């Protein structure tokens, strides 16, 4: 295991540098991109914190719509398998799953949960409004 600072602490340090020193000593395009880059690092901090819980929630939601499957052992495999399962879900939506009212309610509840989880990482201010 690595010594301190942790990943989160180092990301925070670099984000602070971009939003502090870099932004106060630049203008125009570089200044704007320093803001964007710092925001990306803050987003990654949230993503690393939330990822485990969000992946298992999305997996459980897909279980409810597509049938139960065992969760893969590693996080990377879970990630890849969720992409595959979302491809299957996308195909089912194209084929009319969700046209029926009962299915649609379950589908929308899943979409709401997964989209809200994404927003909690990418745009927490917007996520909190809901």
Partner 1 sequence: MDAAEVEAGLTRFVAERWGSAGVAIANLARFSGGAGRETWGFDARPERTSAPEVLEAVFRCDPIKGVPSMPGRALEFHLIKAAWDEGVVVPEPLWDGDDRFGVKFFTMKRVAGETLGARLVRGEQYANARELLPGQLAESLARIHRVTREAHPELAEIPGPAQGVSPAQAEVDNYEASYRLNTQDPHPVFELAFRWLHAHMPRVEERVLVHGDYRLGNFIFDETGLRAVIDWELAHWGDPMEDIGWLAVKSWRFGGSQPMAGVGGREAFFAAYEAAGGFPVDRERVRFWELFGNLRWGVITIGQVANYLAGRSKSVELASIGRRTAETEWELLNLLEGKGD
- Please give the residue ranges that form the binding site for partner 1 (CB under 8 A): 28-29, 32-33, 36-37, 39-40, 43, 83, 86-87, 89-90, 93-94, 96, 98-99, 107-108, 111-112, 115-116, 118-119, 121-123, 126, 130
Shortest distance in whole angstroms from residue 94 CB to partner 1: 5
- Which CB contacts under 8 angstroms, 24+ apart, belong to 52-59? 54/117, 54/121, 55/79, 55/82, 57/113, 57/114, 57/117, 58/82, 58/113, 58/114, 58/117, 59/85
CB of 71 to partner 1, least distance (A): 19
Shortest separation between residue 6's beta carbon and partner 1, angstroms: 23
- What's the rounded Cα separation, in Å, for the pair 26 and 81? 43
Return the number of the residue (19 or 33) whose C-beta is nearest partner 1: 33
Tell me how far, at minimum, the Cβ of 32 lies from partner 1, in Å.
8
Residue whose CB is less far from partner 1, 49 or 123: 123
Taking the least distance from each CB to partner 1, the nearer of 43 and 48 is 43
Look-up of token digits 């649609």: 104
Give the whole-angstrom CA distance, residue 28 versus residue 48: 31
CB of 37 or CB of 55, closer to partner 1: 37
Percent helix, percent strand, percent coil in the chain, to nearest 5: 80, 0, 20
């Amino acid at each position: 295991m690595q010594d301190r600072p942790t990943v989160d602490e180092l990301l925070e340090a670099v984000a602070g540098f971009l939003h502090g020193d870099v932004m106060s000593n630049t203008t125009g395009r570089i200044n704007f991109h320093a803001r964007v880059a710092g925001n990306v690092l803050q987003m990654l901090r949230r993503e690393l914190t939330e990822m485990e819980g969000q992946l298992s929630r999305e997996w459980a939601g897909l279980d409810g719509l597509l049938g139960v499957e065992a969760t893969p052992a590693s996080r990377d495999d879970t990630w890849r398998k969720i992409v595959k399962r979302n491809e299957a879900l996308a195909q089912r939506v194209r084929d009319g799953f969700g046209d029926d009212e009962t299915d649609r309610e379950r589908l929308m509840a899943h979409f709401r949960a997964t989209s809200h989880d994404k927003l909690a990482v990418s745009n927490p201010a917007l996520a909190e409004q809901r």
